[in-house]
Amino acid sequence: MNTFGFIPVSVATLYPTDGLSVDLYIRPPGCDEPILYCARTLRVKQADLGRLEDSGVTRLYIRHDERRAYQQFLRQHLDGWLRDPAQPMRARAAMLNEVVRDVLNESFAGGRTESIVDSARELGQRAAELLTSEPVVFQDVVRVLHHDYTTFTHSANVCYYAVLLGAMLEFSQSDLIQIAIGALLHDVGKIDIDERILMKEGPLTELERRQIRKHPTTGFRKLSKRPELSQGQLLMAYQHHERIDGSGYPVGAVGDEIHPWARLCAVVDVYEALTSLRPYRQPLTPTTALSVMSKNGDKQFDQEMFSCWITIATPRSAS
Amino acid sequence: MLDHDCHPSFGELIDAAPNRLQVPATLLRALSVAERHCQFDQRQSPRIPLMLKGAADVSSTLPAFPRGDIRGRVIVCDASLRGMRFLFDQQLWPGERVRLLLPESQFTGEVARARRLQPHCYEIGVRLDAALSQNLIRQFLSQQRLP
């Protein structure tokens, strides 16, 4: 999100400080506008970043016009970092997430399905490999994610959640890579929906609701001509709003008529939507989101998948 | 000639098409009530309830769903100026190309939606490439018979 000409960046992405030439800003509590934290001429120390994180500051800010330089810095370090076991998982996940969001943002804004699919294939594989390379603490991953209501942020988060859930359900590594790619693409049909509808603060009209409800079919049709995508990936786009009890859309499929990957996507898609900022409400806490999902969860979601997700996403202190 | 060419010998092709469709009489009766699926109806022109025997040729158009070309019997449940709803024995997917043969006419179109009603019975909605004429719809109504 752009806050007064600034964009937030995860503190965890700043640890390899060599080559980062942007000014870093911080937004103290109560301040509307970020203030300078560390000028580009000074090298931010790892100890400083650690202190920030320890005190609960997980985001710094950069000026919007320096976004390109920041992204260049991330992409330059990405491969090395992802393969470096000495780096904490949180930092690697943060760096990958920033790159994923930026690439998806550009691809979605371009509106070309080919470009979106190519980006998703590259980044989905990296996400699946990273999140299965060692045991992952869910809250560590959540800490580095953004929770705004843009489609690319949502798609990125759904991708990570889907991999974590799929791994717990013991899907194979090759399946997890495909699931990650499918999750990045599951909402591709939304690029045809007017932004004013997606960002609307008030209740949707019947016509607007119909537009929204077309996105699974639109997404399926966009992806269906691509030979490198599998049935499961297409059905993640087509069936992620279907519900086990037939109450979903676009066709009201029930039970195992819904592809397992789409059933998995449905669980994490709803959770991600509830825990993210929306134009019409604040994000719900994880506990509240799981509670909301539980009300109809036994009817609407695959029971095994939903139970596993509760195990993964329940805050440790509350479990 | 238009897509919906009229041809007297389509009846033979329809009779020769494999009949794997399984539609219990109770389901058929329920489907004949057009309002049953009004919740999904977003057509600009009203749908006319029909009950016609026909056949469908489905060509393999989606790489992720590889299969040979399929021919099978269908029951056309209704039609509007731009679309048709029919029962088929297999799951089809949005974007797949279909040629529908009715006793005296044929149409081409693209699958818009499909859902399973029971084993070997799927409800398929097709968006037609060319609009039907009022005359043709009147002709359907005069031909109408339970398969």
In this predicted complex, what is the ipTM?
0.77
Give the mean model confidence (pLDDT) for residues B87-114. 93
A247 touches chain B (CB under 8 A): no
Mean of pLDDT values over B95-101: 94
A288 touches chain B (CB under 8 A): no
Q: Would you state the structure tokens that stand for residue B146, as one six-digit string?
A: 């339970």
| A311 in Cβ contact with A168 (< 8 Å) | yes
In this prediction, residue A319 carries a pLDDT of: 41
CB contact under 8 A, A220 and B93: yes
Number of residue pairs across A and B with CB atoms under 8 Å? Answer: 42
Q: Which of A258-262, B41-45, B105-109 has the weakest average pLDDT?
A: B41-45
Residue A14 has pLDDT above 50, yes or no: yes
With cut-offs at 50, 70 and 90, classify the pLDDT of residue A185. Answer: very high
> Which of A224, A250, A253 is the closest to B64 by Cβ?
A224
d(CA B80, CA A88): 60
**pLDDT over 70, % of chain A:** 97
**Mean local confidence (pLDDT), A86-98:** 86
> What's residue B32's pLDDT?
63
pTM equals 0.84
Q: Is A246 on the interface with B (CB under 8 A)?
A: no
Pairing of β B105-118 and β B97-102: antiparallel
Reported as a pLDDT band with limits 50, 70 and 90, residue B147 is very low
The whole-number pLDDT of residue A164 equals: 96
- Looking at per-residue confidence, does A265 or B135 come out higher? A265
pLDDT at B3: 43
Q: At what angle do helices A231-239 and A215-223 cross, to 10 degrees?
A: 160
- From B65's Cα to the closest Cα of chain A, the distance in A is 6
- Spell out the residues 6+ positions from residue A302 whose beta carbon is closer than 8 angstroms to its own: A244, A260, A263, A264, A266, A267
Residues 87-146 of B with CB under 8 A from A: 93-95, 112-116
Whether B63 has its CB under 8 Å from any CB of chain A: the answer is yes
For tokens 């790619």, name the residue: A181
Residue B62 to residue B69: CA distance in whole angstroms? 12
Please give the pLDDT value at position B145: 60
Q: In chain B, what residues touch A250 (CB-CB under 8 Å)?
A: 113
Q: What is the pLDDT confidence band of residue A306, given thresholds at 50, 70 and 90?
A: very high
Q: Which residue's entry shows tokens 């749908």?
A: B47
pLDDT of residue A317: 63
A224 close contact with B: CB closer than 8 A: yes
pLDDT of residue A123: 92
Residue A287: per-residue pLDDT:
94
Most confident range (mean pLDDT) of A225-239, B31-45, B117-131 is A225-239
Mean pLDDT score, A271-282: 90
Q: What is the DSSP letter of A285?
A: P
A238 touches B at CB < 8 Å: yes
Tokens for B92, please give them.
Answer: 């089809």
Q: Rounded to whole angstroms, what are the CA distances from B121 to A96, A176, B17, B18, B72?
A: 46, 33, 16, 14, 12
Partnered with residue B57 across adjacent β-strands are: B71, B99
Measure CB to CB from residue A231 to each of B64, B113, B114 and give the nearest one.
B64
Chain B residues near residue A227 by CB distance under 8 angstroms: 63-64
Residues contacting A255, CB < 8 A, separation 6+: A244
Confidence of residue A70 (pLDDT cuts 50, 70, 90): confident
Any residues with CB less than 8 A from the CB of B122 and at least 6 apart, and which?
B87, B88, B89, B90, B91, B92, B114, B115, B116
Checking if the pLDDT of B35 tops 60, the result is: no
* Alpha-carbon span A145 to A270, nearest angstrom: 16
Residue with tokens 């939903």: A306
The average pLDDT across A16-45 equals 83
Answer yes or no: do B63 and A226 touch at CB < 8 A.
yes
How confident is residue A135, by pLDDT bands cut at 50, 70 and 90? confident
What is d(CA B18, CA A200) in angstroms, rounded to the nearest whole number?
A: 51
**Closest Cα of chain A to B40: distance in Å?**
8
